[in-house]
Each structure stands twice: as C-alpha cells, then as structure tokens.
Amino acid sequence: MSNTHTSINNYLSKVKKGSILFPTDFRGLGTEGAIKMALSRLVKEGKLKRVAHGIYYVPKTDPLLGELHPGAEKIAEAIAQKEKILIKPSGASALNKLGLSTQVPMRLVYITNGSPRKLKIGKMTVVFKATTSKKLAMEGRISGLVLQALEELDLENVQPQTVAKIKSLLMKENPSKLKHDLALAPARLNDYIVKLLNEKDYDRMVEANR
C-alpha cells in the first residue's frame, strides 16, 4: 500500500460521513498522480464514492433509508465554498426554490463569478453560468431570488396566483434590501415590482420590519 493511499485512507477515517471532497483536499499527501491513483483505488474499495469528475463523497448509510447520496444543490454549494466563488439560483431553479413552481428542474442553473461549467450528477445537470457583478451584488435573500425568477417568466402573462405569491414573498423582505436590489435590477423588473407593491404595501413592509 502506497504512502499516499495510506495517508488519504487515514484522513478519510476522521472525516464526517457524507462529506463532499475534492482532489485538492489531499494536497500535501502526495503528488497529483499519486493522489489520483489513490482516490481511484479508494473508490474501488468502497471507501469513497465518485459523483462527477473530480468530486467525491464519503459514503453515509441510514439504517432505514440505506445509502444517502448528496443532492446536486449540496454539491454545487460545496464547489462554491471550495473555490471561494459566489453562486445564486437562476431561472427555473429560483422559481422552484421560492415555491413558485412545483416542477423539480432537471437542470439546476446558478449564476456565478466563477468559471462557467456544466456537471452531470446522476440524473441532474448543474450549470454554472457567468454573470455580471450587478446580479451577484443583490442583498435580499428573497428579493434577489425573486428578481432571478422573474427573468424566467413572461411578465405580461403571469398567472394571478403566482402574482399573489410573488407579492406575499416580497412583503417579507427587508425594505432597504429590496430598494437596494431594485436599483440593480433591469428596468422592466423594477417597474413590474413597483407596480406590484404600491405605496401602501411598501409602507406596511417598513412598519413590519421596524
């Protein structure tokens, strides 16, 4: 057994089950080639699972559910954390996260300041799409997602129930963060939300967030 294999094996014994790992996590334990060979061997031994090129996880088993596989969203977040980049759900992914769509997208699309790429994870596809700094500068947890979701919709033909949900979501946002995000939004999205939230609604938001 090689020193690199032994070192990585020892490392894995101390790692939390279900953790997502990358080859760069093992830097210092061997050369790139030795790490790659060790990881391949550990996958064959069942001590690691490979979910996509250069992405692994430590197997985790539930007594009732069996093996627990990390979701595509968790993997996307792990990549962002590892590479120290920003990612935000976009389009259909944002719609689903807000509960504005019941359809589970087979493509999770994120806007990012990192490298654009596409990953196949099981039946899911994760897409990192390069974007402008404006879109990533949005501060509102809700308003930022809503603005991304609205870009997916035909604003002239949004169903009444969806309009009501959007308004209800925005009423929960911090008014100062909403104002900040609207200043960064495309004009058509700003106008849509301004019309949706009249002055009376905005005053109620301010009062509720005091």
Do both 95 and 196 map to the same domain? yes
Q: Among residues 26, 42, 62, which one ends one of the domains?
A: 62
Full residue range of the structural domain in which residue 43 is found? 3-62
Residue 43 domain flag: yes
Same domain, 115 and 41: no
Give the containing element (helix H, strand E) for 129. strand 124-130
pLDDT, position 122: 85
Q: What is the pTM of this model?
A: 0.84
Cβ proximity of 113 and 80 under 8 Å = no
Q: Same structural domain for residues 86 and 153? A: yes
Is residue 67 in a domain? no
Instruction: Indicate which CATH number applies to the domain containing 45.
Output: 1.10.10.10
* Same domain assignment for residues 19 and 121: no
Q: What integer pLDDT is reported at residue 150 of this predicted model?
A: 93
Domain boundary among 21, 43, 62: 62
Largest pairwise CA distance in the chain: 71
Residues 189 and 89 in one domain: yes
Residue bearing tokens 């509720």: 208
The residue type at 191: D
Query: In this structure, what DSSP letter does residue 89 have?
Result: E
CB 193 within 8 A of CB 182: yes
Supply the pLDDT for residue 105. Answer: 78
Which pLDDT tens digits describe the chain residue by residue (210 residues)?
A: 479 999 999 999 999 999 999 999 999 999 999 999 999 999 999 999 999 989 999 999 888 888 888 999 999 999 999 999 999 999 888 998 999 887 777 889 999 999 999 999 888 999 999 999 999 999 999 999 999 999 888 888 988 999 999 999 999 999 899 999 999 999 999 999 998 987 666 666 656 565
102 and 137 housed in the same domain: yes
My answer on whether 57 and 76 are in the same domain is no
Angle, vertex CA 162, rays to CA 95 and CA 112, nearest 5? 20
How many domains, in total, are found in the chain?
A: 2
Question: Do 80 and 169 share a structural domain?
Answer: yes
Under DSSP, is residue 44 helix (H, G, I), strand (E, B) or coil?
helix
pLDDT at residue 14, rounded to an integer: 92
Specify the pLDDT at position 68: 84
